[in-house]
Chains A and B, each alone.
Chain A
Amino acid sequence: MTDADLERLYEAMAETLGTLPRTDHALYLAKLALALAETLDDTPQALAVIAECRQGLLPEGAPA
């Protein structure tokens, strides 16, 4: 994927979030992640991405 494509997706997601109440952001993003994971149709890779995105969200030194 080109940087421009990635940027387009980034902007589309930000703009869609802007049309939703803040309280629904987590719900929308969870739906989006689940739908994209299914569309990917590659369970091991989806599981790897699920683990990858956890990184950086816990204090440094916390168990991975």
Chain B
Amino acid sequence: MRPAGRGELDSLYFTYPHFPAPVRTPGPETRRPVVIAGAGPVGMTAALTLAQYGIRSLLLDRKDTFNDGSRAICISRSSYYILERLGALQPFLDKALGWTRGRSFYRGRQILEFDMPDSADEKFRPMYNLQQQYIEAFLWQAVTANPLIETRWQSEVTGISEEPQGVTLTVSDPGGSYALPAQWVLAADGARSAIRQMRGLRLQGENYEGRYVIADVQMAHDYPTIRRALFDPVSRPGGTVLIHRQPDNIWRIDYQLRDDESAEEATREENVRAAVAAVLAEIGQDSPWQLEWWSVYSANTLALEDYRDGRVIFVGDSAHIVPIFGVRGLNNGLADAQNIGWKLAFVLTGQAGEALIDSYTPERRGATLDVFANAGKSTRFMTPPDAGWRLMRDAALSLALTRSSAGRLANPRQMTPYTYAASPATASDDPAFSDGPIPGALMPDVALETGFLSDRMGPGFTLLRFGAGAAACDDPALTLVDLPADGPVGRAYGARPGTAYLIRPDLHIAGRWHQADATTLCQTLNRLLARTEETTA
């Protein structure tokens, strides 16, 4: 929502583009390898990932511009690796605000400062703040530059039917309705996914009581990019307020509604202004500010049982809705898109068997369930459900003044990339290792003399070979990287001469062998990619 007198897309700092309706050539549409419903950050990331492997896709979106408002503003380190692999990272690096630090306040007093894990071996900061419309605009730059991706705006999916060779969508645009056949459909059409409803699928899980307003203001405000959490603040007794800095002098004020406040009342402009003014007075902002945009949301933990329904695959918010505190909505969506993107591309190019697709749900739904497990804890802390939890929460906050252990109870549990330990696309661990990252984990990056280990990863799978004469596998999907066993990478990976790590296209570790041999490597790669006689290269 925006202040009275301004249109829905009438931003103080961002010009929304207008995308015209598609000009279609008459006649039946050819069957597309992949049609992606939804040209938001998730849909565009899926299209760019497929294009990396030469797979054409068609993006559909019912709107004629980007999503309105800043929405998801925290991009995690792991998402930066995804954007980097898509060749789309530079504008993000130029614009976004990186941060590592959070400060918590209790009744107006700073009680805790924490730093998220960071070191010289990390190529990117733990978190970057950037408004979602910039995220979409920067991905859109990469999409328009890519000849393998066609986009049709103002195009709504109104029907779906499945046949043996794929799926046929009914698409409506200002020029009429038409049938669009596809081998695979990725439903990246958001939390209210029309495709999910047409397929008769429902999200399962819990709706939490807590409701929150997020409001953006533009102001000159002298404070570094540090996330502030105000517990029981003077401006909102009993509530919790979060403050984030964004580019273009935009500040996000996020506050919880009391049980007796209705969402309708709370989102009226004068009430948002009053709530924001109180918070700004508390943080010492006495110069003018302008209200840019606001919205309301509730904390839910909802997911589909299976992210795959035949040849329709759900990606991002259409498959799961997570509470905002973990900053997992956008970041998990991007990881979903990359995960299904490379797998589908490997299947469509004949480098993997179709069964590889079935590793998508356990891996990405697993990541969602992991968020849910932590969401209960963080939601209880941010918005205690009863007097007992509130009293203990306040006690922990107050005790954090003198004890760092109590401060750790207040530490937001956010953004540890999920480990795909129990996945058909991950090998079991070699018990000979005593340290180093385990299969399924996102590969730890390491600073090299020039650049980082991640810079040396190939487009498909990568085999890290430690020491001279280590085993390899002759496979077109594999890039070999030779490293000394006693160097910085060897130490971080618990390697000795002969050790090998197999890294997936999404930089998760597929398997590792303390003493690798070629036969095991090749067999493992074939098995993880679900290759059959036909697909084995």
Contact = CB atoms under 8 A, between A and B. Distances in A.
B is bound to A: yes
A29 to B, nearest CB: 8
A10 B388 contact: no
A34 interface: no
A14 B109 contact: no
Contacts of A14: 380, 388-389, 391-393
Contacts of B399: 53
Contacts of A60: 109
A22 B405 CA distance: 27
A20 B389 CA distance: 12
B387 A22 contact: yes
B401 A10 contact: no
A27 interface: no
Interface residues of A, number: 21
B533 interface: no
Contacts of A29: 391
B388 A55 contact: no
Quick one: which of A3, A29, A56 has the most chain B CB within 10 A? A56
Given A53-B399, A56-B106, A3 B405 contact: yes
Contacts of B408: 3, 6
Contacts of B386: 18
Nearest to A18: B388
Nearest to A13: B392
B401 A16 contact: no
A53 B402 CA distance: 8
B349 to A, nearest CB: 45
Contacts of A41: none
Contacts of B393: 14
Interface in B359-413: 380, 386-389, 391-393, 396, 398-399, 401-402, 405-406, 408-409
Contacts of A56: 106, 109, 111, 398, 401-402
A25 B391 contact: yes
A45 B303 CA distance: 49
A41 B39 CA distance: 65
A62 B380 CA distance: 32
A37 interface: no
A55 B107 CA distance: 13
Interface string A1-33: 101001100100111111010100100010000
Given A10-B409, A56-B401, A18 B389 contact: yes
A57 interface: yes
Nearest to A60: B109
Nearest to B377: A7
Contacts of B391: 14, 17, 25, 29
A42 interface: no
A6 B388 contact: no
B402 A55 contact: yes
A6 B402 CA distance: 15
B387 A25 contact: yes
A13 to B, nearest CB: 6
A60 B234 CA distance: 14
Interface string A30-59: 000000000000000000000011011100
A52 B388 contact: no
Contacts of B409: 3, 6-7, 10
Contacts of B389: 14, 17-18
Contact of B392 (A1, A17, A55): A17
A56 B397 CA distance: 10
Most chain A CB neighbours (cut-off 10 Å) among B380, B387, B399: B387
A18 B392 CA distance: 11
A52 to B, nearest CB: 5
B392 A10 contact: yes
A29 B391 CA distance: 10
- Counting chain B CB atoms within 10 Å of each CB, the highest count among A10, A55, A60 belongs to A10
Contacts of A3: 405, 408-409
A20 to B, nearest CB: 8
Contacts of A17: 387-389, 391-392
Contacts of B405: 1, 3, 6
B398 A16 contact: no
Most buried by B among A14, A15, A20, A60: A14
Interface in B406-438: 406, 408-409
A30 B242 CA distance: 33
B135 to A, nearest CB: 34
A14 to B, nearest CB: 4
Interface string B12-43: 00000000000000000000000000000000
A9 B396 CA distance: 12
Contacts of B402: 52, 55-56
Nearest to B392: A14
A10 B391 CA distance: 11
Contacts of A52: 402
Interface of B: 106, 109, 111, 380, 386-389, 391-393, 396, 398-399, 401-402, 405-406, 408-409
- Across the A-B interface, the 10 shortest Cβ-Cβ residue pairs: A17-B388, A18-B388, A14-B392, A56-B401, A14-B389, A56-B398, A22-B387, A14-B388, A52-B402, A3-B408
Given A7-B409, A56-B402, 4 more contacts: A14-B388, A20-B388, A55-B401, A56-B106
19 contacts: A3-B408, A3-B409, A6-B408, A6-B409, A10-B396, A14-B388, A14-B391, A14-B393, A15-B388, A17-B387, A17-B388, A17-B389, A17-B392, A18-B386, A18-B387, A53-B398, A56-B111, A56-B401, A56-B402
